[in-house]
Structure 1
Amino acid sequence: MKPKERMLCTLEEFSTAMLSALGYLPVAGVVLAVGALLASAGLGTFIPILKWEPLAFVGNLAYDAMMVIVQNLSVVFCVGIASFLARKDKQQAAMIALLSYLIFLTAGHTTLEQLGQLAAADPNLGLYGTGQAVVLGIQTVDMGVTGGILLGFLTGWIYNRTCGKTFRPTPLRIYGGVRWSFLCIGGAAAALGLASCFVWPPIQNAVDGLTGWIAAAGDTGLFLYGFLERILIPTGLHHLVYMPFQFSSLGGTLTVGERVYAGAYPVLMAEYAMGMPFSDGIRWMYVGFTKTFGYFGIVGAFIFCARPENRRRTAAVLAPLLLTASLASVTEPIDFLFCFLSPVLWLAHGVIAGVFMVLLDVCGVTGFTSGLFSSLAMNLSAGVERTHYPVLYLLAAAEILVYFGVFTFLIRRFDIRTPGREEQVPAAPKEEKGRFPYQKLLAALGGRDNIARVDNCITRLRVWVKDTSLLDEDQLRALAPEGLIFQSKEVQIVFGFDAVQARRQLEELLGVSALSP
């Protein structure tokens, strides 16, 4: 395989592994959006029945039950990526990934503890802004999803190279196979946890050091604030950008009698409650603007750029994720659909978010921006004079259009495979009356002895063959019209959301649970 082809295959496997870990998020997003609607205090202003306590309880329960998935995406990535990359016994790889993730967390915690660097939790803010977080009950360095992603790929890579290991001496045989994989991966996880305590804090300190400059740099600083708050989400470093402004004197102070409010958020809520004009510190709360409105443009572009036959399905998948972003300011389910897939889109996302934060400030907007219904209710109650909310909603419409236009241009210009842009799902031959002929597919792939490995991503059955000269390309194209891709010795057959079932059917014909290359 040529270096360029190898690089493209590696990048595709990387992005596919990332997306495979997010396969359940659309379903979680539906429940999350419903929960946010039922528990919305702002929406209760317009729909009185939502103030009924049992209904609010159900909403909060649904919201919290799904939110725990979003809050623990790091472990989801670790397990999902490792199991996707594993070439056989995927369930074993998933179990080892989970165990190694616990080792990774504990190694980080123990290192911080031994060095006397465990941060003390604030009574109100917890560990926000300290560079540390509690993950699965273990306090360690806050790496966002980066730690889980790194460990997921590391687990998959080591597992494939160690799971077939055997030891000849009888007493040592028990340590062969997946147990040997666990020993190797566990050691690597401990080393990664240890290293994170020395590598990540300097990066956090560098980001934290920017906050003073941002505060003093006017609109340039405000742009950088909005840009970094979006662009750093995958690393978890975005907390270090907005927390000092929203919850410390860096974001402004307000003295009322003997009480001092410090930070943009406490000051804003105090001014709102006392009917006071909103101060300039509200600009640091504008990070909710893009979450509430911008994602309408992003999702609209994804749907518009999808293949015509895929648009309805794409809209059905993305709609609940959009509601979650706009109503609850939880954007990660959408963010991770394209932040690793296309750095160009992710960079544009950060730039647009930063630009509109500056525009809000220049236009004198001092309104609430987080949560579609809750911000609307608070803006209406605060009044036009205090918030200038008509300008806010005009800028919201402009941001939606800008996101839609920029993302549509970039997706088409660079042929970015955003949701819905996969090839058309092939129709089964008529003579099979709706049942796909897997026996014919196996024969077209050169027969059982020509199969090296079988896998799938979200929409494609992926088969690695030993000898490409044995492939019956005409038959393969007949079975998968407009849904066939050749990459060196890999054949990709597009099945849509039936790709998992297709892999299982083919493996059943092969008489194995998975194949190694």
Structure 2
Amino acid sequence: MDKNKIFSSFQKLGKVLMAPVLLLPISGILVGIGSAFTNASLIKVAPFLDNSFFSLLFQLMKEAGNVVNNNISIIFAICIAYGYAKSEKATAALSGFLGYMTMNTVMGSFLIARGIIDTSNLITGQKSILGVVTLDTGVFGGIIIGIVVSYLHNKYYKIQLPPVLGIFNGTRFIPAITIIVASFVGIGLSFIFPPIQNALQLSSEFINSTGVFGAFVYGFSERILLPFGLHHFIYLPFFFTSLGGVMEIGGQTVEGAVNIYNAILNTPGSMFDINISRYVMNGKVLFAMFGLTGAALAIYKTAHKDNRKKVASLMIAAVIPCALMGITEPLEYSFLFVAPILFGVHALLSGIAYILTYIVSFNVAGPSAFGGPLLSWIFNGILNADKGSNWYWLLILGPIYFIIYYYVFKFTIIKFNLKTPGREAEENKDEKVNKNSTDNLIPMIVEAVGGKENILKVEACFTRLRLTLEDTEIVKPNEYFKNELSANGIVKVSEGVQIIYGNKASVYKTEMREFLGIE
């Protein structure tokens, strides 16, 4: 595969994976607001929130937001199948859903039959997905099925079978073959995934025995495994089992970091212990409130000027749930798939955040279970200073971490020319005024790329009209697009061309599809 094909494939993958990512900010905001205003500490300060109307309102907000959060793996499966489909995209999307549910149903039933899953006593890594008890493969499972379905769809959506099987001709074959293949994927994962899960659980014991280094491994592993949906194998054993500690508080023996932390909060005279606090994500307070906010600013600053308004909207919507409630996924997913190296940098800095908070004994819990970073810092930190929260360290380390994230992200994005949101048209000049009406311009573009019969697919990103062509050799010279068609530039790739039109690209895509009479 040549360089242009690789470049085109990665751009396509980034575009496809951004579709479900863009759903996360609104879900994060809804869940964040709902969680914040039902937090017990806040209700103590504002008792008027403790009535049936507000309780129902904020509970409904959480439930609405969690529709996306709880089903993000399914959404990935559908969006990838849809995005990669050459044609008949609705069938591909339907097959993505069928494939994902088939994989989980077969995998769950197979593991139940083997006695690995006990439906009456689910353990970490096992869950019910739309009523199906199975392994929790996270986003990883959704991505696998999405890619499998898109491959099957593009290979077989025009298939002609023998007359006896004619009912399955064409697109009707796709759901059928998807169910069959997804069943084998489910059986395969039932052998592959449990050993991975067991290895992660064993790593918890190593983390627990290695002091400050263990704090780094805990923070780094919890972040780096997020894209695969395996991060809960890192923190859940510490949250609720004896791995997170066993202490006698108020005359009672308590085990699990979350339970111990809550018991300390509710017992006068009990003092925080950093060996417990590190497991309730004290490092997350630092990187969620300050670090990722700096990263968001770097993404905004490195975006092309023409795209900054759009990028600002995305970043603001992602930063709000991140900084306030610790819901980091909307922001992390905005760069995870288009620039994986940045996520690696972020995971490394997250691990270092846990080292720093361990060294200074910063005893403030970070997850949304404790109200999220901000509320936890106020109620568990400032208002419980007498328990040794050392809340003031956030005011010292926070700005430093903001600056570190900002400059590290900015340097990395520019150095490696990473295509973070808003940078796809980095090379654009200021948009020219289009002297042609759209009615005249679209036919001229079609003619310039070889006519209707030469265009296979019409897509668009932030600033580029992306055309997949039958023959790229008959496209007019680059200068023609700039001088006659008011384009800012043109990029020729192996399968077609990308004509740079700035913010008008999306409108041109729609009008060209209508002009060509294609989906």
TM-score with structure 2 setting the length = 0.90
CA distance, structure 2, for counterparts of residue 469 and residue 222 of structure 1: 57
Preserved CA contact (<8 Å) 1:32 1:63: yes
Residues 119 and 400 of structure 1, relative CA distance in 2, 3 Å threshold:
farther
How far the C-alpha of 1:24 sits from its partner, in A, is 3.1
Q: How does 1:417-436 map to 2 (within 5 A)?
A: 417-423=419-425, 424=428, 427=431, 429-432=433-436
Greater shift in the superposed pair: 281-290 or 433-442? 433-442
Q: Deviations along 1:224-270, whole A, 9 cap, x unmatched? A: 11100000001122111111112111111122466321011100110
Paired amino acid for 1:248: T
Residue 172 of structure 2 aligns with an amino acid whose one-letter code is R
Q: Displacement of 1:62 after TM fit?
A: 1.8
Offset at 1:437? 2.6
Q: Distance in 1 between matches of 2:464 and 2:227?
A: 26
Does the CA contact (< 8 Å) of 1:36 and 1:324 recur in 2?
Answer: no
Equivalent in 362, 365, 374 of residue 362 of structure 2: 365
Structure 2 residue 518 is matched with structure 1 residue 512 = yes
Aligned match of 1:410 in 406, 409, 412?
A: 412
The one of 137, 140, 159 aligned to 1:165: 159
Q: 1:268 to 1:258 in 2, by over 3 A?
A: same
- What is the rounded CA distance, in whole Å, between the counterparts of 1:484 and 1:28 in structure 2? 37
**Cα distance in 2 for residues equivalent to 1:388 and 1:257:** 23
Q: Superposition pairs for residues 8-23 of structure 1, below 5 Å?
A: 8-23=7-22
Say whether 1:356 aligns with 2:353.
yes
Contact 2:422 2:462 (C-alpha < 8 Å) held by counterparts = no
Q: Which 10-residue stretch deviates more, 12-21 or 426-435?
A: 426-435
CA distance in 1, matches of 2:467, 2:504: 15
1:475 to 477, 480, 492: 480
Of 437-446 and 452-461, more deviation after overlay is shown by 452-461
Q: List gaps (5 residues or longer) in structure 2.
A: none
- % identical equivalent positions: 28
Q: What secondary structure is seen at the aligned counterpart in 2 of 1:145?
A: helix
* Superimposed CA distance per residue, residues 113-158 of structure 1 (whole angstroms, 9 cap, x where no aligned partner): 1111114566xxxx4x622222222121111100000110111111
Q: Is the 8 A contact 1:101 1:189 kept in 2?
A: yes
1:52 deviates by: 5.8
Aligned twin of 1:452: 456
Q: Which letter maps to 1:255?
A: E
1:260-409 alignment runs, 5 A limit: 260-275=253-268, 276-279=270-273, 280-285=275-280, 286-289=282-285, 290-370=287-367, 371-375=372-376, 376-383=378-385, 386-409=388-411
Asked whether the equivalents of residues 433 and 486 of structure 2 are also in contact (C-alpha less than 8 Å), the reply is no
343-352 vs 366-375, which moves further: 366-375
Task: Tell me if 1:145 matches 2:101.
Answer: no
SS in 1 for 2:363: coil
Structure 2 residue 490 is matched with structure 1 residue 484: yes
Contact kept? 2:324, 2:373, Cα under 8 Å = yes
Query: Counterpart of 1:62 in 2: which secondary structure?
Result: helix
Corresponding residue for residue 77 of structure 2: 78
Change in 2 beyond 3 A, CA 1:16/1:54: same
State the partner residue of 1:224.
217
List aligned pairs for 1:191-270, cutoff 5 A. 191-256=184-249, 259-270=252-263
Q: Which amino acid aligns with 1:165?
A: I
Question: How far off its partner does 1:318 sit?
Answer: 1.5
Cα distance in 2 for partners of 1:131, 1:27 equals 27
Query: Which among 114, 130, 134 is matched to residue 124 of structure 2?
Result: 130
Letter paired with 1:363:
V
Alpha-carbon separation, structure 2, partners of 1:464 and 1:311? 28
- The question of 1:154 aligning with 2:148 is answered yes
Whole-angstrom distance in 2 between the partners of 1:409 and 1:255? 49
2:441 aligned partner: 437
Is the CA contact 1:463–1:492 (under 8 Å) kept in the aligned structure 2?
yes
Aligned pair 1:95/2:106, yes or no? no
Q: Is the 8 A contact 2:220 2:351 kept in 1?
A: yes
Shift of 1:476: 2.5
Give, in whole Å, the separation in 2 of the partners of 1:66 and 1:480.
42
Paired AA for residue 301 in structure 1 = A
**Equivalence map 1:45-56=2 (5 Å):** 53-56=52-55
Aligned partners of 1:373, 1:49: CA distance in 2, in Å? 21
Does the aligned pair in 2 maintain the 1:36–1:327 contact within 8 Å? no
Whole-Å Cα distance in 2 between the matches of residues 441 and 135 of structure 1? 47
Instruction: Provide the rounded CA distance (Å) in 2 between the counterparts of 1:63 and 1:467.
Output: 51
Contact 1:480-1:494 at 8 Å conserved across structures: no
1:465 aligns with 2:469: yes
Q: Is the CA contact 1:384–1:390 (under 8 Å) kept in the aligned structure 2?
A: no
Q: Which amino acid aligns with 1:481?
A: A
The more displaced of 35-44 and 374-383 is: 35-44
TM-score by length of 1: 0.90
Partners of 2:154 and 2:341 in 1: how far apart? 32
Counterpart contact for 2:364–2:381, Cα < 8 Å: yes
Mark the CA change 1:403 to 1:441 in structure 2 (over 3 Å): closer, same or farther: same
The equivalent position to 1:179 in structure 2, one of 172, 185, 194, is 172
| Mean Cα deviation higher: 239-248 or 493-502 | 493-502
SS in 2 for 1:341: coil
Deviations 1:66-85 (A, max 9, x none): 12202211111100011011
**AA at the equivalent of 1:402:** I
Q: CA deviation at 1:340?
A: 2.4
Give 1:482 shift: 3.3
1:504 positional shift: 3.1
Q: Do the aligned partners of residues 354 and 435 (structure 1) sit closer, same or farther apart at CA in structure 2, a change above 3 Å counting?
A: farther
Q: Which whole-Å deviations, capped at 9, do the CAs of 1:485-516 have from their partners, x for residues lacking one?
A: 22123212345676554333222211222xxx
Any idea what SS the aligned residue of 1:415 has? Answer: coil
The answer to whether the 8 A contact 1:460-1:494 is kept is: yes
Structure 1 residues 58-112: Cα deviation after superposition (integer angstroms, max 9, x where no partner)? 2331222012202211111100011011111111111111112111111111111
Q: In structure 2, do the counterparts of structure 1 residues 215 and 92 end up closer, same or farther at CA, with 3 Å as the change threshold?
A: same
Q: Aligned partners of 1:153 and 1:457: how far apart in 2? A: 21
1:501–1:433: structure 2 CA closer, same or farther, 3 Å change rule?
closer
Alpha-carbon distance change, 341 to 428 in structure 1, aligned in 2, over 3 angstroms: same
